[in-house]
């Protein structure tokens, strides 16, 4: 994920909902239970870890059974220590007591709970970048130091790799239509395969496969803290070539290669980390307390669904008529961003009822807003709406196309609009180049690029040249 790329706004659940989710995560809930269980007889080692003799008791408290019960209990205890739910009273004696932050989980507010969870998340992310225990044990030298060179492990590179993966997963999630689970191979490829590479080489494909297996291990660790919902890689796909699989393999079923999806809590957590890293990470609701000018400019780069959600929240805090007047005032201007502001204004006003009618009637004679006002009044069934002049129709047409260009670029929808305009108005270009709008030359040039008919495209380019000459360009 590029540091300079603007991120789409994320739609977050309320802090109260997120705090409830945090308390319900397996890892934090286990850590809290162990913190309440700990007492005068609880003992820890030099690193704060629960002594081996007490792991079975901790597992019993958590209701854990099986081969991994002690490991899960040990992990939960370490999170309790890392988050301040448990405090080391005497390092020499190995005694502990309930930490000051334990009370935050029951008597603190949502932000307090989420603060504790974020500390737990950082601890788990650090663990996810570390080699597994068997590799670490094999790398311990005689003096007790870990030989990192024998592990082929670079801590900074591993952390950077995981951060890159999570950044891409966040971007995929907040992008329009990106709410579903992401196949693990696609996520691994997003950080391995260069953007300008056609067919990946065998070496690159092998790197993707290795990265996918690393991510399989890492997401298994990250799921209990509530960051992701994860479907691991099917074990049958990892059988040796000379072994018979336990059942028939459907290699076209991409879900068998692992699927991952950020939870609502995970979205909150990754946004917090990105903000901490100094990135601009907008969220729906950021603009509700700002003026209409900030709303129209800010939502100009939002995907449609996010722009509507932000606008609905903004309108909900204002009286309709006053909101309409503020929006119309902010939509004025001859700068490059003005057409898109007017488009966002029109979209915002479509969410306001007839209480806004006086504000629209007030601007009927306005050169920049009169056409927009007539459209709104007509769509809302208002009486006595004066017909627009031909000059106003053409001005509004140029303004609309300029806004669509700013919002979508050379999209298929815009190409359809361009074709329709040229077809409905035989002499469109003969009149359009005279329109007194700052964007007229650029709009006509775009129409020349987008129209599939060479003759019509040539007319558009000629008209653009005339418009630019008229404006002294």
Q: How far apart are CA 238 and CA 117, in angstroms?
A: 34
The DSSP-derived string for 429-461 is HHHHTT---TTHHHHHHHHHHH-S-HHHHHHHH
Q: How far apart are CA 411 and CA 308, in angstroms?
A: 20
Confidence of residue 238 (pLDDT cuts 50, 70, 90): low
| Cβ atoms 1, 47 nearer than 8 A | no
Q: In b/e form, how buried is each residue of 68-96, taking b as 16+ CB within 10 angstroms?
A: ebbebbbbbbbbbbbbbbbbeeeeeebbb
Q: Which residue has the tokens 């005279």?
A: 434
Question: What DSSP state is assigned to residue 86?
Answer: E
Q: Of 355, 293, 348, 364, nearest to 321 (Cα)?
A: 355
Average pLDDT of span 431-454: 92
Q: How far apart are CA 202 and CA 200, in angstroms?
A: 7
| Cβ atoms 109, 100 nearer than 8 A | no
Query: Over 50: is that where the pLDDT of 241 sits?
Result: no
| Percent residues over pLDDT 90 in the chain | 68
Query: In this structure, what token pair is assigned to residue 335?
Result: 């700068």
Q: In b/e form, how buried is each residue of 297-330, taking b as 16+ CB within 10 angstroms?
A: bbbbbbbeebbbbbbeebbeeeebeebbbbbbeb
The DSSP-derived string for 361-403 is HTTTT-TTTHHHHHHHHHHTT-S-PPPPPHHHHHHHHHHHHHH
Question: What DSSP state is assigned to residue 140?
Answer: B
* Alpha-helical segments (H) within 223-356: 264-276, 292-298, 304-316, 320-331, 338-349
Confidence of residue 180 (pLDDT cuts 50, 70, 90): confident
Query: Over 70: is that where the pLDDT of 71 sits?
Result: yes
Q: What is the pLDDT of residues 365-417, one digit of tens each?
A: 999 999 999 999 999 999 999 999 999 999 999 999 999 999 887 777 888 88
The secondary structure element, H or E, covering residue 180 is none
Could you give phi then psi for residue 153, rounded to 5 degrees?
-130, 125
Q: In b/e form, how buried is each residue of 235-250, taking b as 16+ CB within 10 angstroms?
A: eeeeeeeeeeeeeeee
Q: What is the pLDDT of residues 21-30, one digit of tens each?
A: 999 999 999 9
Confidence of residue 139 (pLDDT cuts 50, 70, 90): very low
Q: What is the pLDDT of residues 331-377, one digit of tens each?
A: 999 999 999 999 999 999 999 999 999 999 999 999 999 999 999 99
Average pLDDT of span 34-41: 94
Query: In this structure, what token pair is assigned to residue 433?
Result: 């180049």
Q: How far apart are CA 187 and CA 218, in angstroms?
A: 13
Average pLDDT, the chain: 88
Query: Over 60: is that where the pLDDT of 173 sits?
Result: yes
Q: How far apart are CA 39 and CA 213, in angstroms?
A: 40
Question: What DSSP state is assigned to residue 153?
Answer: -
């Amino acid at each position: 994920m590029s540091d300079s790329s603007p991120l789409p706004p994320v739609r977050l659940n309320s802090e109260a909902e997120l705090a409830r989710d945090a308390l319900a995560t397996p890892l934090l809930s286990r850590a809290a239970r162990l913190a309440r269980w700990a007492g005068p007889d609880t003992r820890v080692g030099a690193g704060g870890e629960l002594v081996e003799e007490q792991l079975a008791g901790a597992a019993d408290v958590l209701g854990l059974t099986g081969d991994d019960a002690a490991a899960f209990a040990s992990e939960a205890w370490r999170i309790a220590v890392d988050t301040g739910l448990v405090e080391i009273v005497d390092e020499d004696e190995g005694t502990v007591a309930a930490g000051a932050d334990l009370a935050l989980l029951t008597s603190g507010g949502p932000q307090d709970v989420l603060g504790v969870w974020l500390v737990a998340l950082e601890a788990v992310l650090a663990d996810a970048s570390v080699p597994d225990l068997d590799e670490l044990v094999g790398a311990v030298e005689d003096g007790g130091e870990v030989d990192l060179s024998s592990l082929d492990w670079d801590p900074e590179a591993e952390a950077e790799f995981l951060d890159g993966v999570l950044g891409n997963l966040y971007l995929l999630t907040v992008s329009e239509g990106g709410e579903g689970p992401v196949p693990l191979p696609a996520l691994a490829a997003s950080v391995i395969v260069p953007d300008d590479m056609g067919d990946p080489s065998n070496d690159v494909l092998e790197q993707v496969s290795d990265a996918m297996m690393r991510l399989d291990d890492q997401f298994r660790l990250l799921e209990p803290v509530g960051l992701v919902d994860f479907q691991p890689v099917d074990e049958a796909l990892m059988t040796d070539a000379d072994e018979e699989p336990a059942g028939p393999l459907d290699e076209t079923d991409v879900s068998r290669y692992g699927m991952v999806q950020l939870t609502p809590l995970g979205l909150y957590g990754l946004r917090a980390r990105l903000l901490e890293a100094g990135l601009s990470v907008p969220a729906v609701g950021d603009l509700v307390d700002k003026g209409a000018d900030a709303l129209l400019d800010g939502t100009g780069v939002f995907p449609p669904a996010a722009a509507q959600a932000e606008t609905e929240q903004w309108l909900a805090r204002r009286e309709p008529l006053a909101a309409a007047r503020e929006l119309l005032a902010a939509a004025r201007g001859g700068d490059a961003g003005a057409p898109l502001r007017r488009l966002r204004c029109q979209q915002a006003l479509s969410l306001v009822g007839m209480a806004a009618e006086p504000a629209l009637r007030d601007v009927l004679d306005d050169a920049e807003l009169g056409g927009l006002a007539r459209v709104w009044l007509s769509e809302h069934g208002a009486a006595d709406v004066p017909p627009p002049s031909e000059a106003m129709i053409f001005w509004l047409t140029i303004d609309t196309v300029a806004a669509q260009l700013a919002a979508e670029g050379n999209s298929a929808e815009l190409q359809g609009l361009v074709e329709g305009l040229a077809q409905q108005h035989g002499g469109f270009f003969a009149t359009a180049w005279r329109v007194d709008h700052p964007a007229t030359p650029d709009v006509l040039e775009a129409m020349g690029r987008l129209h599939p008919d060479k003759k019509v495209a040539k007319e558009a380019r000629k008209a653009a040249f005339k418009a630019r000459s008229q404006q002294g360009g």
